[in-house]
Amino acid sequence: MLKTRLTELLGIKHPIIQAGMGPFSNNNLCVAAANAGALGLLSTSGLFDKEGQPWIYNAFVESGEASMDDDMAQVLEKVLKRTYRLTKEKGGVFGINVMVSAEVLDKSQILIDTAIRVREENPGMKDHFKVIFTSAGDPVPWRDKIKSAGFTWLHVVPSVKGALRCKKAGVDCIVASGHEGGFHIAWEPLHSMVLLPAVIDAIADPSFPVVGAGGFCDGKTLAAAIAMGAAGVQMGTRFLATEESDFHPLWKEQVVSTEDRGTLVARGVVGPARWLKTPSSVIHLQNTVVKSPGVFTGIPDDWSTVPPELIEYEREGIKAVCTGDRKKAMMAGGECAQRVKDLPKVQDLIDRIMKEATEIIRNMHQNLA
């Protein structure tokens, strides 16, 4: 067992966070990860667009014991109650991942207010539903609401500047996300080997937990993160390819079959995104070069400046995954997909990762002359 500042902060067994991976439903995956001793995170951003992307909304409803007649607050409430019911016996710890970017602030407000209300109305949840994890926006405006509600607050950043903003906001734990990650990534291609130690050095507080994300998928990479001073790692793509994962079998199969240099970066609704390399994603990359070059030059654009057909192509690609249309499907995934070769149960995966990491750390001296 590896005890770190992350395990102590959250009361989890292992220093691993299962990424939220929005906008896709991961209600079952979160339960499995929490019960296996990691922090399980529920995705929420798929609840933003019931009319525009019903295939995503429906996935939340089906696995969350909700109804298509429910609004997003009602769906989230039912998902939270279900997750609590399925994790309390094993002592699982979970949270919600909420985008707080400017484009969706009204929806973020509803989700966070709902989470606070549901936990207050169900006091037993407080030992399990411990975390609000925010992303894709400024954390400072959320300080009073989240901290006063008694949640442990995590925020993900792609830069040292963002990490220092988190420290100012009073965030409890920072997740430094490198460019290797899947789906939404930063405008600047800063990778984990540089970003993670840079954030740790900038925070300059050995008692403050910093977690690495982007490229982490096994015991080797967990041990590397701890060697750099991190308190743990967040994994998305690796958890996607598990038995309990809610993702479509087509998506899981694509992760496992991905080989060397099997990902690419193209447009992803709110900015750059990393996709698994398929005929559809290669076309999307070619269109991005012409229609949204800021993805590659580091000059942000938004929905008002990107040709709508580019975003529509991506939406259709995601819809194709959900409906099992292999020819049109576009599937996000991190660079570590090329190292994922199986579809284990979540418990077996975490046990394997922890065994490998512990052995590496214990025997690291053997690598020295």
User: What tens digit of pLDDT does each residue of 47-91 get?
Assistant: 888 888 888 888 889 999 999 899 999 999 999 999 999 999 999
**Predicted local distance difference test score (pLDDT) of residue 300:** 86
DSSP 119-131: HHH-GGGGGTEEE
CB 214 within 8 Å of CB 265: no
- Percent of the chain at pLDDT > 70 equals 100
**Predicted local distance difference test score (pLDDT) of residue 74:** 95
| Number of Cβ atoms within 10 Å of the Cβ of 248 | 18
d(CA 282, CA 266): 9
**Predicted local distance difference test score (pLDDT) of residue 48:** 86
Block residue for tokens 């057909």: 309
Q: 234: closest CA among 135, 345, 343?
A: 135
> Is residue 23 reached through a cis peptide bond, with omega within 30 degrees of 0 on the bond before it?
yes
Q: Tell me the average pLDDT of the chain.
A: 94
Structure tokens at 156: 């993900």
Q: Report whether pLDDT(302) > 80.
A: no
Question: What's the rounded mean pLDDT across residues 163-188?
Answer: 96
Question: What's the rounded mean pLDDT across residues 198-219?
Answer: 97
Enumerate the H helices of 265-307 as residue ranges: 279-291, 294-297
Q: Report whether pLDDT(4) > 90.
A: yes
Domains, in order of start, for the chain? 5-246+341-367 (3.20.20.70), 251-335 (no CATH)
CB 171 within 8 Å of CB 258: no
Beta bridge partners of 95: 41, 131
pTM, full prediction: 0.96
- Tell me the pLDDT band of 39, cut-offs 50, 70 and 90: very high
Beta bridge partners of 183: 274
Question: What's the rounded mean pLDDT across residues 355-362?
Answer: 97
| Number of Cβ atoms within 10 Å of the Cβ of 51 | 6
